């Protein structure tokens, strides 16, 4: 479904991605592991058309590199950014509707998508008129994921959805991600919470300094001593 080949990306003279090759098949939940600065967000930025990149990012037969972000979304590839990036003064519902900007003329379709999101996250239906900034961290993360779902993704890219959340909320968040995947959306998940991410995923890639240094099925990586030492602790 998604195939990255030799993806490179630079910020000025700094090479953040040194040639990333990976794939995600239809229906899979694939994890990108790596410490701060490994290049996970840069990989997403390249795919989403938010930063110029070299190499290739093919999705369902189309080349994504060189497309504008809105065109990438139209292909069915939607990113939920690290740090949520909500508009705190705007209502929950307005934030959600922003995710449907490429389908602005399809009012009926967007209402249907909105109702589906309220089914997935009932608390957001309750708080639909509240300013997004008044919600708890976990609820704000739900808004961010909901907003991405409004873009009708075939492939959903989630950048560190567990960041800054309490352990119980993290558990709930990973359950939600697993549900979204089980209902048919392919997921590419960037995470530092290696244990929880490996637990719910099919396969994983480990990034270090702009390269893939390890890959495998998640169960195998969970038992790998190098992974346990470097990313899980013990
Ligand atoms: P994090 O979880 O901290 O975001 P990451 O794995 O997503 O980590 P990236 O954000 O992709 O990593 O960053 C990869 C490298 O690129 C890092 O060394 C980072 O400092 C650098 N970098 C990221 N954004 C910029 C930028 N706008 N300008 C210059 N360097 C950048």
Residue nearest to atom 17 of ligand 1 (CA): 37
Burial 151-161 (b: 16+ CB within 10 A, else e): bbbbbbbbbbb
Interval between CA 108 and ligand 1 midpoint (Å): 39
Residue nearest to atom 19 of ligand 1 (CA): 37
Interval between CA 148 and ligand 1 midpoint (Å): 22
Per-residue pLDDT tens for 53-93? Answer: 999 999 999 999 999 999 999 999 999 988 889 999 999 99
Instruction: Extract the tokens encoding 218.
Output: 């998640």
Q: What is the pTM of this model?
A: 0.94
Report whether residue 13 contacts ligand 1, using a CB cutoff of 6 Å. no
User: Whole-angstrom Cα distance, residue 91 to residue 216?
Assistant: 41
Burial 202-228 (b: 16+ CB within 10 A, else e): bbbbbbeebebeebeebeebbebeebe
Interval between CA 211 and ligand 1 midpoint (Å): 13
Question: 115-124, 149-158, 223-232 — which is least confidently predicted?
Answer: 223-232
pLDDT of residue 80: 95
Q: Give the confidence band of 184 by pLDDT, cuts at 50, 70, 90.
A: very high
Interval between CA 45 and ligand 1 midpoint (Å): 10
Report whether residue 82 contacts ligand 1, using a CB cutoff of 6 Å. yes
User: Whole-angstrom Cα distance, residue 13 to residue 215?
Assistant: 28
pLDDT of residue 234: 52
Mean per-residue pLDDT for 1-21?
Answer: 97
CATH for the stretch 1-76+153-234 = 3.40.50.300
Q: Give the confidence band of 229 by pLDDT, cuts at 50, 70, 90.
A: confident
Interval between CA 112 and ligand 1 midpoint (Å): 36
Q: Which sequence spans correspond to the domains of the chain?
A: 1-76+153-234, 85-152
Q: Does residue 230 register a pLDDT over 90? A: no
Answer for the pair 48, 68: CB distance below 8 angstroms, yes or no: no
Q: Does residue 207 register a pLDDT over 90? A: yes
User: Whole-angstrom Cα distance, residue 55 to residue 48?
Assistant: 14
Average pLDDT, the chain: 94
Report whether residue 34 contacts ligand 1, using a CB cutoff of 6 Å. yes
pLDDT of residue 104: 86
Strands laid side by side in the 203-208 sheet: 77-80, 155-159, 186-191, 29-33, 203-208, 211-217
pLDDT of residue 8: 98
């Amino acid at each position: 479904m998604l195939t990255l080949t030799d993806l490179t990306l630079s910020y000025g003279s700094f090479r953040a991605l040194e040639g990333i090759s990976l794939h995600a098949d239809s229906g899979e939940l694939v994890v990108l592991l790596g410490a701060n600065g490994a290049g996970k967000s840069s990989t997403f930025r390249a795919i989403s058309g938010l930063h110029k990149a070299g190499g290739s990012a093919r999705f369902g037969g189309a080349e994504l590199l060189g497309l504008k972000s809105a065109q990438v979304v139209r292909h069915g590839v939607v990113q939920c950014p690290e740090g949520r990036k909500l508009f705190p003064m705007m209502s929950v519902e307005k934030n959600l509707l922003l995710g449907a900007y490429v389908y602005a003329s399809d009012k009926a379709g967007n209402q249907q998508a909105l109702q589906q999101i309220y089914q997935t996250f009932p608390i957001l239906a309750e708080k639909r008129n509240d300013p997004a900034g008044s919600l708890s961290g976990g609820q704000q993360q739900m808004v961010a994921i909901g907003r991405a779902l409004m873009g009708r993704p075939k492939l959903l890219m989630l950048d560190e959805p567990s960041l800054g959340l309490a352990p119980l909320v993290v558990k709930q968040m990973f359950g939600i991600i697993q549900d979204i995947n089980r209902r048919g959306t392919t997921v590419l998940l960037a995470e530092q919470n290696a244990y929880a991410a490996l637990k719910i995923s099919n396969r994983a890639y480990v990034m270090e300094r702009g390269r893939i240094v390890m890959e495998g099925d998640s169960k195998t990586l969970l038992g790998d001593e190098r992974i346990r030492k470097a990313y899980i602790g013990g």
